[in-house]
Amino acid sequence: MKNKKKNIKSRLIVLVCFIVILPVAWILVVRLEGEKPSITVELPSPSIGKTQELTLSVSDAKSGVRRIWIGLVKDGKEVVLFEKDLPFAGLIRGGIIHRESFKIVIEPVKIGITDGKAILRMVARDYSWRRWLHGNTAYLEKDVIIDTKPPEVGILSRAHNVSQGGAGLVIYRVSEKCPKSGVFVGKNFFPGYPGYFKDDNMSIAFFALDYKQGPGTKIFVNATDFAGNSSRAGFPHYIKGKVFKKDLLEISDRFLNWKMPEFDVDISPDSKTPLVEKFLKVNNEVRHDNYKQLLSIVENTDKKLYWKGTFLRLPKSARKAGFADHRRYRYKGHIIDRQIHMGVDLASVAHSPVSASNTGKVAFAETMGIYGKTVIIDHGFGLFSMYSHLSDFNVKKQQMVSKGKIIGRTGTTGLAGGDHLHFGMLVHNTFVNPVEWWDGSWIKNNISGKINTVKSNN
């Protein structure tokens, strides 16, 4: 009987341990955890301009976030930028929020902070029972520079005469190093590149007007410093308007039967005119996809001026189509499509040798949809030349080619109706009239002359 009572007593003790002691121990271990909250901040740059938005993230997986505080300290003065208490779920559960992000806008002038070195200070606390229920505290400090003054832009080149569908060059100097500067033509941005001159604050920017941008188009240099401060500077320029040729292309069944098998395009099996429908898809959808591919190719350019002098054209060739010709496509008496021809078509004898128009690096050497076998050469600072409808080519990507080097032969690949070279020039993301680049006087007056004048004066 006594042994039985002892066993019952022992079991009661064990049961009390499970019911009382173990939960208390668990609570003490879990709620007294000593892990500090985590603080991360996204600062695009250590410089803070007139207006700077930053993203702050805090997290505490165990106890939850209790409080976040952010301040800016300069010359002994501390200004609170943001503070917030986060919700509580109860003494046992801790905080409701274990991860949160905040957007904070810093405007130094409005809060009375002057330019110079400062400290961005951040504090986060959790709902741990540590420190007599005050929780664990994490600190993060970042050295920053308050810079609310925009960069100054000085235009160094003089006359800027540009044609609709043509190119131009501006040379300028900024008062401080800027991660982004260049020329806006309407809403299109053309990056400027330092490195050509000894002064790293001097930049060269090739820019262009597309075939739709005529007189009245806004053109200016824009520079943005590391703090996000921007400034713009206009420069004297004259835009010559231009009317482009209208052309009519007859689409025959012979052409469709010849060219359409080259393209892998799906059309409706119920179509009554499958070849015409396929042509329209190629001339629109494939053309659009090719342009997007072109943009990705020319997005990266070497920050070096490879070319020199007049660009070469296909020798002993006749011009079959011009830049920005407004084409209408007619099939059996009906206009079925309209497109703009973004280059110059040159024809000589079949399979004529095609040479690099100027020195540069091969950026592309593959087949590209409507353009067929194509070579694109990067001449540096955003200037590219394009050679299409080739029957073959003998260069590869990243290969340096000198002016006059044979890179391929003319052909009929792509959407070509006969053996010829489709030659194009691009400035950054914009096709321009190649005729300008074949003209030595134009290059001297608009490009090389400007560079030499600025170089001699600096």
Q: What is the model's pLDDT at position 25?
A: 56
CATH of the domain at 221: 2.60.40.10
- Model confidence over 46-74: pLDDT tens digits? 899 999 898 999 999 888 899 999 999 99
d(Cα 265, Cα 278) in Å, to the nearest integer?
7
CB burial of residue 311 (10 Å; 0-12, 13-18, 19+)? buried
Type and span of the H or E element at 450:
helix 449-457
Please provide the DSSP assignment of 6-23 as one string. HHHHHHHHHHHIIIIIHH
Q: What is the mean pLDDT of residues 164-168?
A: 97
> Based on the domain organization, do 416 and 289 belong to the same domain?
yes
CATH of the domain at 94: 2.60.40.3880
Q: What is the mean pLDDT of residues 303-308?
A: 95
> Based on the domain organization, do 335 and 378 belong to the same domain?
yes
Query: For residue 86, what are the contacts with CB-CB under 8 A and spacing of at least 6?
Result: 64, 65, 66, 67, 68, 95, 96, 97, 100
> Based on the domain organization, do 308 and 416 belong to the same domain?
yes
* Confidence band, pLDDT 50/70/90 cuts, at residue 314: very high
Backbone angle region of 450, left / alpha / beta, with phi > 0 → left and psi within -120 to 50 → alpha: alpha
d(Cα 185, Cα 168) in Å, to the nearest integer?
11
Rounded alpha-carbon distances, angstroms, from residue 92 to 30, 41, 97, 136: 9, 30, 14, 16
Q: With a cut of 60, say whether residue 375 has pLDDT above it.
A: yes
> Based on the domain organization, do 310 and 269 belong to the same domain?
yes
Higher-pLDDT residue of 407 and 52 is 407
Q: Is residue 199 part of a domain?
A: yes
> Within a 10 A sphere around the Cβ of 118, how many other Cβ atoms?
22
> Based on the domain organization, do 175 and 110 belong to the same domain?
no
> Based on the domain organization, do 256 and 331 belong to the same domain?
yes
**Dihedral of the CA atoms 197, 198, 200, 205 (nearest 10)?**
0
Q: With a cut of 60, say whether residue 38 has pLDDT above it.
A: yes
* Confidence band, pLDDT 50/70/90 cuts, at residue 32: confident
Of 169, 56, 51, 176, nearest to 122 by C-alpha is 56
Query: For residue 33, what are the contacts with CB-CB under 8 A and spacing of at least 6?
Result: 62, 63, 128, 130, 136
Tokens of 445: 């007056």
Is residue 93 a contact partner of residue 123, using CB atoms and an 8 Å limit?
A: no
* Confidence band, pLDDT 50/70/90 cuts, at residue 268: confident
User: Domain boundary residue among 146, 172, 203?
Assistant: 146
Q: What is the mean pLDDT of residues 24-51?
A: 79
Q: Domain of 222?
A: 153-241+450-457
Q: Is residue 26 part of a domain?
A: no
The number of distinct structural domains making up the chain is 3
Higher-pLDDT residue of 42 and 20 is 42
Q: What is the model's pLDDT at position 31?
A: 64
Q: With a cut of 90, say whether residue 256 has pLDDT above it.
A: yes
Q: Is residue 438 part of a domain?
A: no
Q: What is the model's pLDDT at position 3?
A: 59
> Based on the domain organization, do 62 and 177 belong to the same domain?
no
pTM of the entire structure?
0.85
Q: Is residue 400 part of a domain?
A: yes
User: Domain boundary residue among 125, 146, 167?
Assistant: 146
> Based on the domain organization, do 228 and 258 belong to the same domain?
no
> Based on the domain organization, do 57 and 109 belong to the same domain?
yes
Q: With a cut of 60, say whether residue 142 has pLDDT above it.
A: yes
> Based on the domain organization, do 279 and 390 belong to the same domain?
yes
- Model confidence over 354-367: pLDDT tens digits? 999 999 999 999 99
Of 208, 177, 172, 209, nearest to 192 by C-alpha is 172
Of 164, 185, 305, nearest to 235 by C-alpha is 185
Tokens of 400: 């340096």
- Model confidence over 88-116: pLDDT tens digits? 887 777 788 899 998 999 999 999 999 99
DSSP E strands, 257-382:
318-321, 325-331, 334-341, 344-347, 353-355, 360-368, 372-380
Higher-pLDDT residue of 365 and 22 is 365
Q: What is the model's pLDDT at position 319?
A: 85
Q: What is the model's pLDDT at position 9?
A: 63
Q: Is residue 306 part of a domain?
A: yes
Nearest 5°: phi and psi at 55? -110, 125
Type and span of the H or E element at 297:
helix 287-298
Q: Is residue 279 part of a domain?
A: yes
Q: With a cut of 80, say whether residue 425 has pLDDT above it.
A: yes
> Based on the domain organization, do 314 and 336 belong to the same domain?
yes
Q: Is residue 132 part of a domain?
A: yes
Q: Is residue 31 part of a domain?
A: no
Q: What is the model's pLDDT at position 157?
A: 95
